[in-house]
Amino acid sequence: MAEVMIDPASGQHSLKRVIGRRTLLLFVVGDILGAGIYALVGKAAGQVGGALWVPFLVAFVLAALTATAYAELVGKYPRAAGAALYVNKAFNIPFVTFIVAFAVLMSGITSAGAAARAFGGRYLAEFVTLPVVVGAFVFLGLVALVNFAGISESVKVNVALTIVEAFGLLVIIAIGVYALLTGDGEPARALEFHPANGAFLGVLGGTALAFYALLGFEDSVNLAEEARNPQRDFPRALFGGLAVTALIYLAVAFTATMLVDTRTLTDSSGPLLEVVKVAGLAFPPKLFALIALLAVGNTALINMLMASRLVYGMAREGIVPRLFAAVHPTRSTPWVAIVFTVGVAAVLVATGDVGDLADTTVFLLLCVFAMVNVAVLVLRGDRVEHDHFRAPGWMPALGAVVCVVLALPVTGRDAYVYIRAGVLVAIGVILWFVNRLFLAAGKPEAEGGSEREHPS
């Protein structure tokens, strides 16, 4: 039976601190690797031409700036709410806190929905023919079961899938090494630079796409409450995970453009399969499709882990109803938050083009990242008793500017993305006022007892 943890302050069930540094590192690597790199190589190539490794390199440098802010904040405030907690502490404006939390929550759920649809699509069709929605629903059900089983079980599955998806990318790298040794492919093509909209806009647009493949490094902060030593382990896991994935991404990007022409990569929905098919080093395409399915599955599992823990953390902070903070008495998992997030993901899978929604949430996350970078500077005056990582001041400052630039239309982002983002924010505003009305309805009873707690 799972160990039951009780919060001594509240007497309620709490999350277990079971995650060590190595597991955190694998979680960060697995969070970044996955659906993005398996699907976006071709689109990035369409922006810059053969030298598609350039936007990936730029994106990693820019992501590292924001990672310094997260590394400092998670050390100061090792709780599950992530960006919502940091913005709330920095600005103490409940409405802003809610919108930030809502944007992050929707990004995770939408990403999981996109991964579910990808799982039920072309890759799955290599083995069995099912309607995309049916395959996606079955997949979401399996993810929910793993998430409910417990954080230890979920992270163990994540570790196994991380190894599998990393193996698939290492296969691509091995194919590239073999091609270089045997003289196959066109290495010079990886150095060609033919941006679609000029050098600056081409790199900027490619970087925005590549940044989508990197989203996920910030998800790990939502496991802070379940880490054994977050002050020491999170900075090392964040920066180590970024470094490992940077090397893998750059090698994969170089190999892809060296072996496959840019147009083929751009037009393919499975660009890395194109690499496997033309490789001189034989590797079964069906086996690679299976690896891609597991990689997509890992993306969804991590996003649903993050989303459920974020809802749980928001409830603990009093931002959403306390119902969502309920922890299962034997599994020690936030079961109400899990049911809620899976339900929202299922609706997205059934009713919309999740790929387009994912692009919208990239824009929303860039706005969130900008606020987190500002928050870390605002909170420099808030001293804590324990030691923690401290970022050089110029890094989060530059990170905030970079995030704002990448969120602007100059990257080539379509207008409908901003329209959809506006609709999502409007939904968040409606939910905010519904929650306020709910709290107001319970205020007379609260006034009869102790003062109702507010997030602060």
For residue 351, the model assigns a pLDDT of 76
Q: Check residues 280 and 276 and name the one with the higher pLDDT.
A: 276
pLDDT tier, 441 (very low <50, low <70, confident <90, very high otherwise): low
Of 8-12, 58-62, 123-127, 148-152, highest mean pLDDT: 58-62
Q: Check residues 51 and 379 and name the one with the higher pLDDT.
A: 379
Which tokens in the block code for residue 374?
Answer: 């500002």
Q: Please state the domain extents for the chain.
A: 21-442
Residue listed under structure tokens 């309805």: 441
Please state the rounded mean pLDDT for residues 291-310: 82
The answer to whether residues 76 and 382 touch, using CB atoms and an 8 Å cutoff, is yes
Q: Is the pLDDT of residue 224 over 90?
A: no
Q: What is the pLDDT of residues 125-175, one digit of tens each?
A: 778 888 888 888 888 888 888 878 766 666 677 678 778 888 999 999 999
pLDDT tier, 355 (very low <50, low <70, confident <90, very high otherwise): low
Which tokens in the block code for residue 293?
Answer: 């399915």
For residue 203, what is the enclosing H or E element?
Answer: helix 199-214
- The conformation of residue 58, written as its DSSP 8-state character, comes to H
Question: Does the reported pTM lie above 0.85?
Answer: no
Q: Check residues 237 and 20 and name the one with the higher pLDDT.
A: 237
Which residues, other chains included, contact 162 with Cβ-Cβ below 8 Å and sequence gap of 6+? 26, 27, 29, 30, 33, 298
With a pLDDT cut of 70, the percent of the chain lying above it is 82
Which tokens in the block code for residue 360?
Answer: 């919208």
Q: How many residues would you count in the chain?
A: 456
Q: Which CATH number fits domain 21-442: 3.40.50.300, 2.60.120.330, 1.20.1740.10, 2.60.40.10?
A: 1.20.1740.10
Please state the rounded mean pLDDT for residues 116-130: 78
Please state the rounded mean pLDDT for residues 294-318: 79
Which tokens in the block code for residue 254?
Answer: 């170089």
Q: Check residues 91 and 211 and name the one with the higher pLDDT.
A: 91
Return the closest-CA partner of residue 150 out of 18, 257, 248.
Answer: 18
Residue 25 CA to residue 244 CA, distance in Å, equals 10
Q: Is the pLDDT of residue 293 over 50?
A: yes
For residue 171, the model assigns a pLDDT of 92
User: Phi and psi (nearest 5°) for 227?
Assistant: -90, 145
Q: What is the pLDDT of residues 386-412, one digit of tens each?
A: 777 888 989 999 999 999 988 888 777
Least confident of 234-248, 380-394, 421-435: 421-435
Helices 132-149 and 151-182: angle between axes, nearest 10 degrees: 120
Residue 211 CA to residue 380 CA, distance in Å, equals 27
For residue 297, the model assigns a pLDDT of 80
Q: Across 262-305, where does the E strand assignment appear?
A: none
Which tokens in the block code for residue 211?
Answer: 């940044």
For residue 374, the model assigns a pLDDT of 95
For residue 15, the model assigns a pLDDT of 59
For residue 174, the model assigns a pLDDT of 93
Q: Check residues 200 and 13 and name the one with the higher pLDDT.
A: 200
Which tokens in the block code for residue 213?
Answer: 């493949």
Please state the rounded mean pLDDT for residues 251-273: 84
Least confident of 67-81, 219-233, 305-319: 219-233
For residue 437, the model assigns a pLDDT of 76
pLDDT tier, 445 (very low <50, low <70, confident <90, very high otherwise): very low
Least confident of 129-133, 333-337, 394-398, 441-445: 441-445
Q: What is the pLDDT of residues 20-57, one digit of tens each?
A: 677 778 778 877 877 778 877 877 777 787 788 888 88
The answer to whether residues 409 and 208 touch, using CB atoms and an 8 Å cutoff, is no
Least confident of 25-29, 196-200, 235-239: 196-200
Q: Is the pLDDT of residue 12 over 60?
A: no
For residue 117, the model assigns a pLDDT of 79
pLDDT tier, 236 (very low <50, low <70, confident <90, very high otherwise): confident
Mean per-residue pLDDT of the chain:
79
